[in-house]
Amino acid sequence: MTCPVGYSGAMRLITSTGELADICTRLAAQPYVTVDTEFMRETTYYPKLCLIQLAGADEVALVDPLADGIDLSPFLALMANEAVTKVFHAARQDVEIIWLMGRIIPVPLFDTQVAAMVCGFGDQVSYEQLVNDLAKARIDKSSRFTDWSRRPLSTAQLDYAQSDVTHLRAVYEALREKLEASGREAWVAEEMALLTAPETYEVNPDEAWRRLAGRVRRPREIAVLIELAAWREREARERDVPRSRVMKDDGLVEIAIAAPNSAEALAQLRSIPRGFERSRAGAEIIAAVERAQARDPATLPVVERDRPRGNTGATLDLLKVLLKAVSEREKVAPKILATVDDLEAIALDDEASVRALSGWRRDLFGEPALALKRGELALAVERGRVVVAPRGPVSSSRRSGA
């Protein structure tokens, strides 16, 4: 098997529990291990794990979780070993798989995508870009979207899979050096706390409606959507099928708006297939609508979009410019500092409960944002770049337009 340029370690395809235990024992002696997974979820609710990639200082292991009789306990033990840092790129889906496998969160965890954002590589920088910039290598992406569940895996697939973890070593080491030099390790650690929280990976059916909250407005519609989305989530989970196989988003929204209270009314909707209204699912939808209509509107959650914003349009525009200026000056991705929702909340309320107004973010962006609102900062353009400059406080009469 050909290894990536610049990597001298041997690659092994692991198909037995004994082989996996041996390599995990060796990797447990390393200060860190790079990790990636290949999975499929186009036809299932839960991701189907098809391959695990691991790399230490001098060896690479591709673990076949579909091999007959293999027990992945040694891998889970390695992920739980707090003496070894687990390095991922864009870790969330990989960590979700590990959590579903054994209710284990890999700790300590280092996500190179997050670290790259802190180091100024932009919002959600791709792995390929980091490999180009930091490992001075290129990745053949032709196998990226192949069927990883089919056996045997091709040579091209195995080459691609091992490159995901071998180049990741150089990326990790380069980013770690940058973080140490800038003193920003704590910034990344704060983000890792979110990625290592079990609640991040627990799906609450009663919260599933929030993905579609922007598509309905009235309290009655929100009530129906809450019930329908929870029903769909539980149904998809029980059947292990994608949510869309149960019902597409458009169908949920149409039912939430129409609120049919009978099979005949349900059958009139465009998104409902002929005969569906007479099925078990049709009856459950009617029951969900009835529960929603019986709900006290006072118990409904407040949709953020519907909260009064006041006349904050100009303030929001200025905060967006300030965010861009601060992120460029500090060489950090804007998304790490503040989201659009954060900016909207700050524009409305100086005491908003958002991450941009706490911790290191408050020092870097939150305080300047509040100072801008008070008229104590000015934004200007110098040599094609936005710069931030202090100015005297604006009097109350000038604020009121007197």
DSSP labels for 111-132? EHHHHHHHTTS-TT--HHHHII
Spatial distance between the Cα atoms of 31 and 11, rounded to a whole number of angstroms: 19
Same fold, 10-201 and 308-399: no
Record the tokens describing residue 254, joined without a space: 């149409």
Per-residue pLDDT of the chain in tens (402 residues, 90 and over written 9): 333 333 344 567 999 999 999 999 999 999 999 999 999 999 999 999 999 999 998 999 999 999 999 999 999 999 999 999 999 999 999 999 999 999 999 999 999 999 999 999 988 889 999 999 999 999 888 888 899 999 999 999 999 999 999 999 999 999 999 999 999 999 999 999 999 999 999 999 999 999 998 899 899 999 999 999 999 999 999 999 999 999 999 999 999 999 999 999 999 999 999 999 999 999 999 999 999 999 998 899 877 655 555 567 899 999 999 999 999 999 999 999 999 999 999 999 999 999 999 999 999 999 999 999 999 999 988 888 888 888 865 555 444 444
User: How big is the CA angle at 131 (ends 49 and 177), to the nearest 5 degrees?
Assistant: 105
DSSP three-state, residue 318: helix
Task: Give the pLDDT confidence of 373-393 residue by residue, as tens digits.
Answer: 999 999 988 888 888 888 865
Spatial distance between the Cα atoms of 15 and 191, rounded to a whole number of angstroms: 35
Q: Which CATH number fits domain 205-304: 1.10.150.80, 2.102.10.10, 3.30.300.30, 3.40.50.261?
A: 1.10.150.80
239-245 own/partner pairs: CB under 8 Å, 24+ apart = 239/45, 240/44, 240/45, 240/46, 241/43, 241/44, 241/45, 242/41, 242/42, 242/43, 242/44, 242/45, 243/45
In terms of CATH architecture, what is 308-399?
A: Orthogonal Bundle (1.10)
Look at strands 377-382 and 385-390 and give their pairing. Answer: antiparallel
User: How big is the CA angle at 371 (ends 367 and 375), to the nearest 5 degrees?
Assistant: 170
Q: What's the pLDDT at 303? A: 72
- Per CATH, the number for 10-201 is 3.30.420.10
Contact present, 255 and 289 (Cβ < 8 Å): yes
Nearest to 153 by CA among 16, 38, 7, 9: 38
Nearest to 148 by CA among 47, 14, 2, 54: 47
**Dihedral over alpha carbons 360, 361, 365, 370 (to 10 degrees):** -100
Q: What is the pTM of this model?
A: 0.86
DSSP three-state, residue 173: helix
Spatial distance between the Cα atoms of 335 and 316, rounded to a whole number of angstroms: 15
Q: Sketch the domain layout of the chain as residue ranges.
A: 10-201, 205-304, 308-399
Task: Give the pLDDT confidence of 297-317 residue by residue, as tens digits.
Answer: 889 987 765 555 556 789 999
Going by C-beta distance under 8 Å and a sequence separation of 6 or more, which residues neighbour residue 402?
none
